[in-house]
């Protein structure tokens, strides 16, 4: 899931006066285009416009008045560095470099093989090479030479 950061800016209230722009609608559209393009060039994606109430004090008596503000909401994906946790939890524990207090390497528990479902028939001795000798016989022959 992508994470976003958001930017909220006030919408323009007046249109831009440019040469060739006639009418309120065209001037206002030009002002909106300018704001949208400015933030798009910085990597912000226009998301929506919100109208929200805000209380202001108005006049000599400082009476509270509710006004409505038009806000443009932009978003952009957060960089990977921004949302990477400081210490990622380890999914699998690695004890291959585990050392005890003396600095000696710890012994791992032997792996227990699962019980065989095949009948307890005798197995043939392992052979080495093509001569058919058993590995134990080959090892003892090597020791005597």
Predicted local distance difference test score (pLDDT) of residue 66: 94
Nearest of 69, 44, 41 to residue 55 by alpha carbon: 69
Is 96 part of a structural domain of the chain?
A: no
The band of 89, judged by pLDDT with boundaries at 50, 70 and 90, is: low
What is residue 19's DSSP assignment?
A: T
How many structural domains is the chain composed of?
1
Residue 120 has pLDDT above 70, yes or no: no
More confident residue, 58 or 92: 58
Taking only the tens place, the pLDDT of each residue in 99-114 is 555 555 555 556 666 6
- 107 within domain boundaries: no
Q: Please state the rounded mean pLDDT for residues 69-86.
A: 79
Domain membership of residue 54 (yes or no) is: yes
Return the structure tokens found at 114.
């699962």
What stretch of H or E contains 143? helix 135-144
User: How many Cα atoms within 13 Å fall on the side-chain side of residue 18?
Assistant: 14
Checking if the pLDDT of 62 tops 90, the result is no
Residue 48 maps to a domain: yes
Residue-range definition of the domain harbouring residue 42: 4-77
Q: Which residue in the block uniquely carries the two structure tokens 């380890």?
A: 90
Q: Is residue 11 situated within a structural domain?
A: yes
Q: SS3 letters for 22-83?
A: CCHHHHHHHHHHHHHHHHHCCCCEEEEEEEEEEEEEECCCCEEEEEEEEEEEEEEECCCCCC
Kindly state whether residue 69 falls inside one of the protein's structural domains. yes
Q: How far is CA 131 from the centre of its chain?
A: 59
Phi, psi at residue 91, to the nearest 5°? Answer: -85, -35
9 domain residue, yes or no: yes
18 lies in a domain?
yes
Find residue 49's DSSP bridge partners: 72
Query: What pTM does this model have?
Result: 0.51
- The four Cα atoms 63, 64, 68, 71 give a dihedral, to 10 degrees, of 110
């Amino acid at each position: 899931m992508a994470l976003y950061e958001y930017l909220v800016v006030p919408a323009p209230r007046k249109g831009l006066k440019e040469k060739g722009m006639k009418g309120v609608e065209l001037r206002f559209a030009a002002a909106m285009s300018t704001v949208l393009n400015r933030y798009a060039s910085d990597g912000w994606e226009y998301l929506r416009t919100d109208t929200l109430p805000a209380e202001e004090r108005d006049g000599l008596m400082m009476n509270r008045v509710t006004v409505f503000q038009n806000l443009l909401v932009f978003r952009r994906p957060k960089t990977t560095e921004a949302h990477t946790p400081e210490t990622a939890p380890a999914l699998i524990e690695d004890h291959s470099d585990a050392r005890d207090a003396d600095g000696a390497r710890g012994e791992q528990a032997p792996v227990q093989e699962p019980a065989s479902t095949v009948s307890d028939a005798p197995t043939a001795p392992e052979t080495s090479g093509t001569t058919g000798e058993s590995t134990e016989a080959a090892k003892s022959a090597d020791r005597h030479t």
